[in-house]
Every structure is written in structure tokens, then in C-alpha cells.
Chain A
């Protein structure tokens, strides 16, 4: 246990040195606030390194106090900079929700296609929901309807293939699997558009 701890300790010390060095370099208050979170994660990292049941039990209280401290600091920052009165025009007006959706949604959709079938459709649909919630949906709505319609047709066509040409069962299963994937994706992504905008 001790040897593993020492190896991990060296890695953690390196991380801590990097974190503290960034504190030296950074002058912007908001960025320093974010860096304090990095420091607190390093503190939890040190406890997690011990790797016993007791250490595991210590992680949660440690996390709670560091997060409460971070929240208190964030609140002080808001009051200090007079940002409390700036209410955002959209509820989800957060910078990361403008930049992240494309990457996260594409990862989820690709993973959903790999899974295929109903669960794959659910995963891919989640990606599309996330994208639409973050980015808005104005002109994509009709596209989803159209794709969903074609998917339904393909699914029915797969059934006909199975009934009429049983020897081609593999092709039919593939078409049905792909179609249900697209269908579930489209259904779930409708949830992402139900946010009460004017044309919905």
C-alpha cells in the first residue's frame, strides 16, 4: 500500500506544483476562482490515493466542504463584481453550452449508432436533445419530422421483406435496426424542441 501511495504521491505532488504555479501566473479573479477548484480536487486526490475503505469514506465529506467553500466564494465574486442583477436573456445562457454541444452531441450520436437498435436510438436521441436544447431548433424541426417519417417507412418495408422474402432476413433486420435507431432518435429529440417557442 505504501509503495503505491508513494508513486501516486509523486504524481499528485507534480499536479499540485502545476496548480500552485498557475496561481502564481494568474491574475484574473474569475480564473483564480476556477483554479481553487483544481486545488481542492488535488486535495481529494491525495486522500483517494490511500485507497482504503476509510479513505473512500473521507472523500464525500471532503468534497462537500470544498464545494460549499467554492459556492461561497462564487457568491462573493458575484456580489463583488455587481453581477447579481445581470439576469440572462435565456435560462441556459452559459458559455460552455454554446461551445460544447457539437462535440458532445456527435460523440453521443456516434456511440448510439454503434450500439444500434432501441438503446442506441435512446443514446443518440439524448445527444440530439442536448444539441437542440443548447443551440435552438428553428429550422431543424421539419428535417426531424421528415427523417422520422422515412425511418417509419423503412421499418415497415423491413417487415414486408421478412414476410415476403424470408431468405433475405439479414437485410431486413439491418434495415429495421437502422430505422428504429433513427425513429427513437427523432422521437427523443422532439423533447429537446418542447421549450415553448412561438412556432411549436
Chain B
């Protein structure tokens, strides 16, 4: 499988029956990024929210207590863990499961802002993410039915996966990782605990990078 251009050299492979967890240069790089971002979200201190007084040059800073950001910090770390799983897994179905988990944690990070408009945005985003499970699981089902396996290691380079399954996989990940495109973004970033919103963008980016790799390889 490491004759594929995108993967780079093989760093590690654990033959564990059909499903082989592996690290290529590509996935190892993504995993290293995720670990760095999990550590950042675990140890950072959220900045104060600055509000500028309209019509003057005064501004004031809101005090943010540790307890206000506890939930979003936890969800950011959970999101990081789900992204790590999606990046390192060697199984298409596990990838879809982790993508759904990333969607759930993203909804939670958005919803932790507490503002009614943001909650509305989170609800609509959640519905999109929920519908996206249909193409995600659908693609996994089609891959399993046509090839008899879900292992990326086995499927690599075979070219046995139908185009429909690949298209559905990309469509599903688009549904789960659509948060950065969302209109409520400005409102979310203004809310307390803004640094944790970064995790939404980061996890979506990594999901897209990983799904690109999977689609090119299988």
C-alpha cells in the first residue's frame, strides 16, 4: 500500500488480523498535529473578551472564570481525541464512526456558547450532521458488500471500491465537517471560550485531509 504517492514511507504497521493499524508519513504527520492541538486545548488559558464601546475609543474586558470554559475545554479535548482516532484508524467503518463523533463534539463546542442564536445554529448544524450519517454508513456498507472487507490496508491499490462509495464517503464527511462554513461562525467566535472554537476548524480540516487520502488509496 505504500506505493501510493500520497502515503509516503511506511513507519509502522501492526498486523492484527484483517484490520491493520498503520502509520505512513502522511497519517503520522496528521496524528502529530492532532496531539499538539489536544495539548493546546488542554492547557491554554482563554483570552478575555474585549468589547469596544460604540462611538468612543473606550473598551472593556469581560472576566472569564475557569468554570465558564470547563465544558467547552472538555469537548475540545474530546473532539481532538475523536479526530486522532479518525486520522490513525485503518478501517473505513471506524473512520466513519470517528467522523460522526467529531460531528457530535463539534455540535457540543458550538452549543456551549449558550447564546440563543448560537444554539439555533448548533441545532441546524446538528441536523445536517445527523443526515450525513446516511451517506457515511451507506458508503461503508457498499464497500463491505462489494469487496467483503473494510480494511484500508487490504483495499489499498485494488481499485475495487466503486466510485459511488467514494462519493458518498466524501459527501458524509462534508456533512460532518461543515461547521467552518456555517453562518453562525461570527457569533460563535465572539462568545466566551473562543479558543476552543478553533478545534472545530482544525478537526474538520484534518477529516478532509484524511478522507482525501482514503479515497485516493482505496
For chain B, which range describes its interface: under 10, 10 to 19, 20 to 34, or 35 or more residues?
A: 20 to 34
Number of interface residues of A (CB under 8 A): 36
A residues sitting closer than 8 Å to B (CB atoms) are: 1-2, 5, 16, 20, 23, 29, 32-33, 36, 39-40, 42-44, 46-47, 49-50, 52, 54-55, 58, 61-62, 65-66, 68-70, 72-73, 76-77, 79-80
Question: What 3 pairs across the A-B complex have the smallest Cβ distances?
Answer: A43-B137, A36-B130, A80-B119
Q: Is the CB of B141 within 8 A of A61?
A: no
Could you say which residues of chain A place their CB within 8 Å of the CB of B116? Answer: 80
Contact of A72 among B104, B120, B141, B148 (CB under 8 A): B104
Q: Is the CB of A65 within 8 A of B104?
A: yes
> Given A47-B141, A76-B107, A79-B119, A32–B127 Cβ distance below 8 Å?
yes
CB of B122 closer than 8 Å to a CB of A: yes
Most buried by A among B97, B100, B107, B137: B137
| Binary CB contact string for chain B from 150 to 165 against chain A (1 if under 8 A, 0 otherwise) | 1000000000000000
Chain A residue at minimum C-beta to C-beta distance from B18 = A54
Could you say which residues of chain A place their CB within 8 Å of the CB of B140? Answer: 47, 58
14 new A-B contacts, CB < 8 A, other than A61-B93, A69-B104, A76-B123, are A16-B134, A36-B130, A40-B134, A42-B134, A43-B136, A47-B137, A47-B144, A50-B141, A54-B150, A65-B101, A72-B107, A73-B126, A79-B111, A80-B119
Could you say which residues of chain B place their CB within 8 Å of the CB of A58? Answer: 93, 140, 144
B residues sitting closer than 8 Å to A (CB atoms) are: 93, 97, 100-101, 103-104, 107-108, 111, 114, 116, 119-120, 122-123, 126-127, 129-131, 133-134, 136-138, 140-142, 144-146, 148, 150
Contact of A2 among B93, B119, B146 (CB under 8 A): B146
Q: Is the CB of B144 within 8 A of A52?
A: yes
Could you say which residues of chain B place their CB within 8 Å of the CB of A50? Answer: 141, 144-145
Could you say which residues of chain A place their CB within 8 Å of the CB of B145? Answer: 1-2, 5, 49-50
Could you say which residues of chain B place their CB within 8 Å of the CB of A33? Answer: 127
